[in-house]
Amino acid sequence: MDQETFTHITPKKRSLLTKVGDAVLLSFCFVICSLPVITLGVSCTALYFAVYKRYKEGSETPASDFFRSFRKNLRQGTVLTIFLLAYIGGAGFFLYYSLFGLNRTAPPGWCLPVAVFLMIPAFFMTMFTFPYLARFSNTVVGTIFHCFTFSMMYLGHTIFMWLIFLASIALIVVFPPLALVVPYISAFLCWKLCEPDFNYAILLQDKREHPEKYKSEQPESEEDNEEEYDEDEDSDEEDEEEDEEEDEDDPEYDAETVDEEEDEE
């Protein structure tokens, strides 16, 4: 009995330990690679890619996946990180000036609406940028455009990812050792949100590039329906013929017809 219980529990414990080990290992890689700040986006990309490979494809080499993605996207990810940090920093400073002024100087009335307007692109670009970079190859401008489109189309996912991001920062600030687990959990939650959106985009792109593959399926289904309809008609006719034969063979039917013929005579 003890042996059976042991063999039954061991795989679960092993799986749990593996997941905890992956979380600590990948979060540690993320923290170390994010220290230069300008590589923060590249680290996010690599972490997302490692989580994707682990849960989608069953990869058992999370560290190798992380650093492979890090090297591949280092240049473009760094450019995107610098651009986003500069834009968010500038727009954030302008928003602060619009709210509180500078050197006891009240800002003009038009500053606040403009500052809010400038913050909108940052809100819609940031969350999808690095998950997109982990899954697709594109130019910097193309990546920004597509990420803005994804964020607009899936506004609920965008808001939820911002909440995950802010909650992760708050948890790490309150209890710094959580930095060895929280990045991995955040990447996993974002992966659960982003992947259905990416898969749908891949499906639409495939339909645009290969429309014949999807058009060819419709005539086949129509022909199949016609064949099924013809078979149903044939089966109905056969059933009618069998019913007529049964009626002719029925003795009650014969007696009634004989009586009718005698009455007529």
Q: Specify whether the CB–CB gap between 106 and 120 falls below 8 A.
A: no
Q: Is this structure's pTM higher than 0.85?
A: no
Helix (H) or strand (E) holding 210: none
Residue 155 is encoded by which pair of tokens? 């506004």
Tally helices (H) and strands (E) across the chain: 11, 0
Residue 151 is encoded by which pair of tokens? 């964020």
pLDDT tens for each residue of the chain, 265 residues long: 444 444 555 666 667 788 888 999 999 999 999 999 999 999 999 999 999 999 998 888 999 999 999 999 999 999 999 999 999 999 999 998 888 888 777 888 888 899 999 999 889 989 999 999 999 999 999 999 999 999 999 999 999 999 999 999 999 999 999 999 999 999 999 999 999 999 998 888 888 877 877 776 554 444 455 555 555 555 555 555 555 555 445 444 444 444 444 444 4
Residue 262 is predicted with a pLDDT of: 47
Give the start-to-end residue ranges of the domains of the chain. 2-215, 220-264
Residue 61's CB is within 10 A of a number of other CB atoms, namely 12
